[in-house]
Structure 1
């Protein structure tokens, strides 16, 4: 079921022409989510359209949405699908926060041995 939701979300991002889609399996790094998907929209209107389409498709397929944040300003919309977190951002916002770097192996610090 999670794989279906992941495929549905990625397909919707592709259909809506989201740019630079990056699907990261972060399940081994956090308990918050198994996957984080990062994508870029061309404008605030484009970001809202992508978010609306994801929400519509997810609901049509019988999945639930935990929450949507940032929709009003639409520089960065976060859609919480439970085990999948979708980030849709303007290019400038994505570049400023560089969230993907936080989940990259190269940027993780190992906990000291005790």
Structure 2
């Protein structure tokens, strides 16, 4: 039996995958009965993940970091983080370091798009979506205007 952890609905979920291998033991194939049900942690994973994303971007000298709370607005994610890097090299490096840190600390792989070009990198961590832009590209697309209410503001870090 193998334990698997995955993020879902704002909390870490744990389940045991049965390995039904032929065995001489009579216990093989029986469901686990060691309390291997879905378990939730005390603090939602989306908040821990958001804290780690923001600290990673800060460590890598990201500019104009904005977080947008999507809870109740979108079922895709709980938070969106938008940041800028000064060059394509910095944008690519920040995205690579962020995905490595998330994998080390949370144990799952993020989906990444655009890392090779380095103009706009999208990192999907599940509950937190991260956009890292070069300043010119960010100004062109203006994602903040699309996701913020008219005249609203986001949390800037």
Confirm or deny a common fold (TM above 0.5): yes
Deviation sequence 1:34-66 (CA, Å, 0-9, x none):
100000000000001100110111011124234
Aligned residues of 2:46 and 2:78 also touching (Cα < 8 A): no
Identify which of structures 1 and 2 has the higher relative contact order when contacts are C-alpha pairs closer than 8 Å and 6+ apart: 1
Figure out how many residues of one structure are paired with residues of the other and give that number.
Answer: 107
Equivalent residues in 2 for 1:23-34, closer than 5 Å: 23-34=67-78
| Greater helix share, structure number | 1
CA RMSD for the aligned pairs? 1.2
After TM superposition, the structure 1 stretch with the greater mean CA deviation from structure 2, 32-41 or 57-66, is 57-66
Matched, 1:53 2:53: no
Name structure 2 gaps, 5 residues minimum. 1-44, 152-157
When normalised by structure 1's length, the TM-score is 0.89
When normalised by structure 2's length, the TM-score is 0.65
> Who is 2:82 aligned against?
38
Name structure 1 gaps, 5 residues minimum. 108-114
Deviation sequence 1:1-55 (CA, Å, 0-9, x none):
2211111110000000000000110122111111000000000000011001101
Match of 1:42, SS state, is coil
Equivalent residues in 2 for 1:17-96, closer than 5 Å: 17-96=61-140
Decide which structure has the larger Cα Rg and report it.
2
What CA distance in whole angstroms lies between the structure 2 residues aligned with 1:45 and 1:98?
Answer: 21
What CA distance in whole angstroms lies between the structure 1 residues aligned with 2:72 and 2:135?
Answer: 27
